Structure 1
Amino acid sequence: MIEILQQYGHALLWSDGYRFTGLAITLWLLVSSVVMGGILAVFLAVARVSPLPWLRFPVWLFTYIFRGTPLYVQLLVFYSGMYSLDFIRGTEFLNTFFRSGLNCTVLALTLNTCAYTTEIFAGFIRGVPSGEIEAARAYGFTWFKLYRCIILPSALRSAIPAYSNEVILMLHSTALAFTATVPDVLKIARDINAATYQPFYAFGIAAVIYLMISFVLIGLFKQAEKRWLRHVKPQ
Structure 2
Amino acid sequence: MDFDLIRESFPRLLSAVPTTLALASISISLGFLVALPIALMRLSKSRVLASFGYGYVYVMRSTPLLVQMFLIYYGSGQFRAFFEYFGLWTLFRDAWFCAILALTLNTAAYTSEIIRGGIRAVPWGQIEAARAVGMSGILLFRRIVFPIAMRQVLPAYGNEIIIMIKSTSLASTITIVEVTGVAKQIISNTFQPVEIFVIAGAIYLSINFIVTRAVMLIEIWLNPHLRSDRALRSTAAVATH
TM over 0.5: yes
Contact 1:158 1:229 in 2 (8 A): no
How far residue 39 of structure 1 moved from its aligned partner, in angstroms, is 2.2
The residue that corresponds to 1:4 in the other structure is 5
- Per the alignment, residue 205 of structure 1 pairs with 199
Is 1:32 aligned to residue 33 of structure 2? no
Letter in 1 for 2:13: L
Query: Structure 1: any 5+ residue segments left out of the alignment?
Result: 15-21
Q: Following TM superposition, by how much is the alpha carbon of 1:45 offset from its aligned partner in structure 2, in angstroms?
A: 1.6
Stretches of structure 2 lacking an aligned partner (at least 5 in a row): 230-241
1:59 and 1:234 map into 2 onto residues whose CA distance is: 39
Match among 184, 203, 223 for residue 190 of structure 1? 184
More helix by share: 2
> In structure 2, which of residues 126, 136, 161 is the aligned counterpart of residue 132 of structure 1?
126
* Residue correspondence of structure 1 range 145-184 to structure 2 within 5 A: 145-184=139-178
Residue 10 (structure 1) shift: 4.8
TM-score normalised according to structure 1 size: 0.90
Identical pairs, percent: 38
- Alignment partner, residue 83 of structure 1: 77
Answer yes or no: is the 8 Å Cα contact 2:42–2:54 preserved in 1: yes
Greater radius of gyration (CA):
2
Q: 1:83 to 1:11 in 2, by over 3 A?
A: farther
Task: Output the TM-score relative to the length of structure 2.
Answer: 0.88
What is the one-letter code of the residue matched to 2:165? L
What is the CA–CA distance in structure 2 between the aligned matches of 1:104 and 1:187, rounded to whole Å? 16
The structure 2 residue matched to 1:231, chosen from 225, 234, 238, is 225
Alignment of 1:94 onto 2:88: yes
Q: Secondary structure at the match of 1:128?
A: coil
> What are the residue-to-residue correspondences of 1:86-125 with 2, within 5 Å?
86-91=80-85, 93-125=87-119
The alignment of Structure 1 onto Structure 2 pairs a total of residues equal to 228
Deviation per CA, 1:187-218, whole angstroms, max 9, x where unpaired?
Answer: 11011011111111111111111011011100
1:57-76 aligned at under 5 Å gives the runs: 57-76=51-70
Q: By how many angstroms is 1:89 displaced? A: 5.0
Is contact 2:6-2:196 (8 Å) kept?
no
* Contact 1:82–1:88 (Cα < 8 Å) also in 2: no
Structure-1 separation of matches of 2:121 and 2:74:
40
